Chain A
Amino acid sequence: MLRLEARSTASDWMRLASPPIAVALTILTGLVIFALLGKDPLKGFEVFFINPLRSFYSVTELLLKATPLAICAMGLAIGFRANVWNIGAEGQFIVGAISATGIALSFGSVTALSLVLMVLAGMLGGAAWAGIAALLKTRFNTNEILVSLMLVYVAELLVSWVVFGPWKDPKGFNFPQTQMFETTALLPVLLEGSRLNLAFGFAIVLLAAGHVLLTRTTLGYKMRVAGESAGAAAYAGFSTKAMTWIGLMIGGACAGLAGMAEVAGPMGQLTDKVANGYGFAAIIIAFVGRLNPLGIGLAALLMALFYIGGEQAQQYLGLPGAISKVFQGLLLFYLLAADVLIGYRILWVQGRPSTDSGSPGAASKRST
């Protein structure tokens, strides 16, 4: 039978290998799911993983989709490094989008300045929303997971209120959406003939900045220490309160920026469906990317593939779009499962193992 044996040191090689293993297992499971649903697995694979890469335009669409995901995930990863569990990026994304929309609707016709203000508003909005969780955590010791999550639902209701109420487009046939932004309030397109916009540049800069922060600065070092051992961090005199604030504020600002990029980019307006689960997908991206900027970039591309593949599966295979969320969840399951191999190796043991881990009762019963 199989049993696990602790490695003397954690395997760096497995740390790198486990995400690709998880991806491969997710894809394999996907093929099985397609077959079980009576769809041709190869056709499913093609629709999900090949079609989005077929043409120049579809590749730029993939990059466009990956952009807010990468921005959001980079911010979260910095918090996760310090063991700050910001689970509410979805809400911070929405509030960032609302804040940026506020600027666009009231002050959106000034070239360059409008966009700068929108970026700032988006980041501030997201950071403020995350700041609630930080404040309650540091002041009252309130669990940041539950608070940031509750605030997701509140943010969803907030965006629903603004697009059904005060900001509803009077000429929008009663759809829950604002009017389209003026072109001065839209991020400029980078590549002719595509929708890929300046936000892609933001993402690249952010990933680079994240790399520098995490590997080259004292702050990054402190956050890593705080994440690995709260005791060691306290002993070294690092303030956990400061880590909580920084982790949540950076995560919130990035999520808010991603929200801004979405309304000022492909959407060009605010709707009640603005977040589309990106904030939750970003959590998975941060983990699959090993909280490492390069990994996050790759994982964001993969997740973008899932999103676009999900849309395609809806169109060509008649499957509900929620299949991309199923894949997202599967990917995280497989990653967490594969990560066991970082600290342990699998052994094949003939017959019964000598020590039945976790159930000494069985052993003692045998001896009596």
Chain B
Amino acid sequence: MSLELITAICFATVVAGTPLVLVAIGELVCEKSGMLNLGAEGMMSVGAVAAFVTAYWSGSPTLGVCVGILAGALLALIFGFITINLMANQVATGLAVAIFGVGLAAFLGKPFESRVITATPPLTLPILSDIPLVGRVLFQQQSLVYLTWVIFGLVVWFLARSRGGLVLKAVGESPTSAHAVGIAVNRVRYLAVLFGGAMAGLGGGFLSVFYTPMWTEGMIAGKGWIALALVVFATWRPWRVLLGAYLFGGVLISQLFVQSSTLQINVPAQLLSALPYLATIVVLVLISRNAQMIRINSPASLGKSFRAD
């Protein structure tokens, strides 16, 4: 394999991993508060459509992505209301978010299926991009890729070093104790859920406005669910989320490279396309074998609703 090809694959891996980083880190924060929102796929889909349609009309990818964030957060708000205020089962409500979001996106996006928007040129960072190999892979990317790193850094700092992060984790570990020391449990949970939705919307918007750039029904193709699996795989630790997301970006990309390459590999295209899903299962098996590790690392109140009285 030539150096050029390796660089191209690494570059594409970072791009493909970016939406997964965003969605998974959002879900991580959400789950840290004890809220299990399985609706990432739906929030991503809605975010992708909202972002694409806005970018198409306004001509501004930035505005598009902002609306995508809003759309994801709005859907998360519904989830929050039903699970926090009405104390419904989080698994079932998350499923409803997934089904509703995917359906709504298909419905709203139908008239825009064959439309195209102009691709946004990458933002080449001065000096850094001149570093051989690394410069091309990391510093000639879309602006959103850099933003993803900033968001990631902020989340890492927030969880490990800030008071807010402590409060968030306290709520996720024991809402009752957190309530007893005067933390507004449900307000914290709402914020965490909204952040998760916003990040899923951003991830979807990145896909439809920056990555492809277009909208087709089913283009999210399980990436929201893979992001959920990544959080488990990462045992709720941000650095592992980042690693896992790029690993999966690599899986997503390598099957595309093999499919489009001149290597005459005699395998059905569908088998290659199935690789990311199969890889998700394998990864889940590897990590879940150690039940204790999952138990220790997962937020203790994950999936349980809380009521003060």
A residues near B (Cβ < 8 Å) are: 6, 85, 87, 136, 140-143, 145-147, 149-151, 153-154, 157-158, 160-161, 164-165, 280, 283-284, 287, 319-320, 322-326, 328-330, 332-333, 336-337, 339-340, 343-344, 355-362, 364
Contacts and interface: CB of A to CB of B under 8 A. Distances in A.
A350 B44 CA distance: 41
Nearest to A324: B103
Contact of B185 (A151, A157, A358): A358
In this complex, the member of A157, A340, A358, A360 whose beta carbon has the largest number of chain B beta carbons within 10 angstroms is A358
A322 B106 contact: yes
Given A329-B100, A358-B179, A361-B182, A320 B106 contact: yes
Interface in B270-297: 270-271, 273-274, 277-278, 280-281, 284-285, 288-289, 291, 294
Nearest to B180: A360
Contact of B82 (A154, A320, A337): A337
B228 A146 contact: yes
A316 to B, nearest CB: 16
A325 B106 contact: yes
Interface string B295-306: 000000000001
Given A136-B281, A326-B104, A361-B182, 20 more contacts: A136-B285, A142-B281, A142-B285, A145-B38, A145-B91, A146-B232, A147-B281, A150-B280, A153-B221, A157-B270, A322-B103, A326-B100, A328-B103, A329-B99, A336-B82, A340-B86, A357-B307, A360-B182, A361-B183, A361-B187
B184 A143 contact: no
B92 interface: yes
In this complex, the member of B81, B179, B268 whose beta carbon has the largest number of chain A beta carbons within 10 angstroms is B268
A359 to B, nearest CB: 4
Nearest to A340: B86
B96 A329 contact: yes
In this complex, the member of B103, B111, B277, B284 whose beta carbon has the largest number of chain A beta carbons within 10 angstroms is B103
Interface of B: 38, 42, 78, 81-82, 84, 86-89, 91-93, 95-97, 99-104, 106-107, 110-111, 179, 182-187, 217, 221-222, 225-226, 228-229, 232, 268, 270-271, 273-274, 277-278, 280-281, 284-285, 288-289, 291, 294, 306-309
A333 B82 contact: yes
B278 to A, nearest CB: 7
Contacts of A280: 99
Given A154-B277, A332-B99, A339-B88, A358 B186 contact: yes
Contacts of B96: 284, 329, 332-333, 336
B107 A320 contact: yes
A362 to B, nearest CB: 7
Nearest to A359: B184
B93 to A, nearest CB: 5
B100 A323 contact: no
Nearest to A333: B96
A143 B289 CA distance: 11
In this complex, the member of B86, B89, B278 whose beta carbon has the largest number of chain A beta carbons within 10 angstroms is B86
A143 B232 contact: yes
A7 to B, nearest CB: 13
A333 B78 contact: yes
A364 B183 CA distance: 10
Contacts of A85: 91
12 contacts: A140-B289, A146-B284, A150-B226, A151-B281, A158-B270, A158-B274, A329-B99, A329-B101, A332-B96, A333-B78, A336-B96, A358-B184
A30 B106 CA distance: 17
- Of all A-B residue pairs in the complex, the 6 with the closest CB atoms, nearest first, are A329-B100, A325-B103, A358-B186, A322-B106, A320-B110, A359-B184
A161 B271 contact: yes
A146 B229 contact: yes
Contacts of B308: 355-360
A56 B307 CA distance: 51
In this complex, the member of B95, B185, B186, B226 whose beta carbon has the largest number of chain A beta carbons within 10 angstroms is B95
Nearest to A356: B308
A222 B241 CA distance: 39
A272 to B, nearest CB: 10
Contact of B277 (A150, A322, A339): A150
A143 B288 contact: yes
A157 B88 contact: no
Nearest to A331: B96
A231 to B, nearest CB: 14
Given A150-B222, A154-B278, A360-B308, A340 B87 contact: yes
Contacts of A147: 281, 284
Contacts of B232: 143, 146
A87 B270 contact: no
Contact of A146 (B92, B280, B289, B306): B280
Contacts of B84: 358
B185 A336 contact: no
Given A136-B285, A147-B281, A150-B222, A360 B179 contact: yes
In this complex, the member of A143, A149, A357 whose beta carbon has the largest number of chain B beta carbons within 10 angstroms is A149
A121 B274 CA distance: 24
Given A325-B103, A359-B186, A332 B284 contact: no
A277 to B, nearest CB: 8
A160 B273 CA distance: 11
In this complex, the member of B81, B102, B274 whose beta carbon has the largest number of chain A beta carbons within 10 angstroms is B274
Nearest to A280: B99
A132 to B, nearest CB: 8
Nearest to B184: A359
Contacts of B294: 141
Given A150-B225, A332-B100, A340 B88 contact: yes
A146 B284 CA distance: 9
Contacts of A145: 38, 91
B99 to A, nearest CB: 5
A336 B93 contact: yes
Nearest to A361: B184
A87 B186 contact: no
Nearest to B100: A329
